[in-house]
Chains A and B, each alone.
Chain A
């Protein structure tokens, strides 16, 4: 699994889906090694369908922990 600063989590209530760049998103046809910022703008959360902007890194700048929700 990638570093927590590079791993992004969906903030939709009760979703919590993780985007791990080391794994990519097979169903969304995103190859392994794609960093979150390089995901296409129309990419959707594979669990709940939310857009990219609903995701936050799990640590570091921009994370819920550091900036609050």
Chain B
């Protein structure tokens, strides 16, 4: 990918990672991009870097615009290594007069690269930096999603460089939101929100409020992953508002793992009951589904119904995986119940219920357990549980 001018004298100089499929446990089935932005003004500034293996792509892209040695400032909006891994090489090559970051950014950079001798300059929310004709305003976004995170806003261009906010893991040859399929774009954005930002929802609400209060006029959002927003800016901000308020559809997610298909037939019967009440149902057998795809569906679901067979006095390990992952992402406003088939001890469904309670899921039915293979009557009871839960969902 060649560098690309996104605003007058503002160039995308990042890298496309077509091959990444696992991003610390998030399945990136269509790769990702590491976006970096070069602003050529009286001062030359590079906003964000790329992951370490992509350093030469970054340098080639910079070269197409300006001699890298001419860069004055490096702005590090976020220290995580997909955006800073190439920093040591870039500092060596560029010899910047300033590395600009938040106070927590400086601390984290030193803890990553062990170079306290670099020319750091820390900035706080509201501070500005003149590049000549363009002015950069900084907005700290602590804990969205690391303590060091911040946004940079180019006032003259009404351009918000939003770090990981509004990002999507999607490798494309296109650079803008209006050049790709709209519904696929929003499904990648939702997946990103559900798997990276969901737990920070209360802070995202506050941040959206602050952006409004600061009166930032935004006609382009440039995140550090995926497509840049220029035609659907309002729509993605509204989506973030909705996702962070954790609103839901009349939708249930049924998640299960099964040993000999008994828990599976319970899951199918529960789903049948839910569907009879008009609920949208998403079914996931953990053997075939990735945790991060499941969380994307959990994002706007009202009910979480989770089941596992009992193995060695506990739940199946894939169920423990998704529960551990989900607990960390802190979904709110859910109802649900647990279920599972067992042979003699039957701990799994109870343990799942405890995990749901810990996540403050409203338990609408006591956990449903069936010994070994469910009978026709057992399955009727599963359908009934599905219907009862479905009625509650539809009642709003």
Binding site for B on A (CB under 8 A): 12-15, 47-49
A42 to B143, CA, bound (A): 19
Neighbouring B residues of A48 by C-beta, 8 Å: 142-143, 147
Neighbouring A residues of B91 by C-beta, 8 Å: none
Neighbouring A residues of B59 by C-beta, 8 Å: none
**Contact mask B317-346 → A, CB, 8 Å, 1/0?**
000000000000010000000000000000
Kindly state whether residue B104 has any CB partner on chain A within 8 Å: yes
Q: Is the interface of A mostly helix, strand, loop or mixed?
A: loop
Kindly state whether residue B199 has any CB partner on chain A within 8 Å: yes
How many pairs, one residue from A and one from B, have CB atoms within 8 Å of each other in the complex?
23
Kindly state whether residue B176 has any CB partner on chain A within 8 Å: no
Q: Is the interface of B mostly helix, strand, loop or mixed?
A: mixed
A14 to B203, CA, bound (A): 11
A13 & B104 in contact (Cβ 8 Å cutoff): no
A12 to B199, CA, bound (A): 10
Given contacts A15-B147, A49-B104, A49-B147, 19 further A-B contacts (CB under 8 A): A12-B143, A13-B143, A13-B199, A13-B200, A13-B202, A13-B203, A13-B330, A14-B143, A14-B145, A14-B199, A14-B200, A15-B143, A47-B104, A47-B147, A48-B142, A48-B143, A48-B147, A49-B140, A49-B142
- 23 CB contacts below 8 A, A to B, read A12-B143, A12-B203, A13-B143, A13-B199, A13-B200, A13-B202, A13-B203, A13-B330, A14-B143, A14-B145, A14-B199, A14-B200, A15-B143, A15-B147, A47-B104, A47-B147, A48-B142, A48-B143, A48-B147, A49-B104, A49-B140, A49-B142, A49-B147
Q: Range of interface residues on chain B? A: 10 to 19
Neighbouring B residues of A12 by C-beta, 8 Å: 143, 203
From A44, which residue of chain B is reached at the shortest CB distance?
A: B142
A16 to B351, CA, bound (A): 26
A14 to B145, CA, bound (A): 9
**Contact mask B131-155 → A, CB, 8 Å, 1/0?**
0000000001011010100000000
Neighbouring B residues of A49 by C-beta, 8 Å: 104, 140, 142, 147
From A17, which residue of chain B is reached at the shortest CB distance?
A: B147
* Top 4 A-B pairs, shortest CB-CB distance: A49-B142, A48-B143, A48-B142, A47-B147
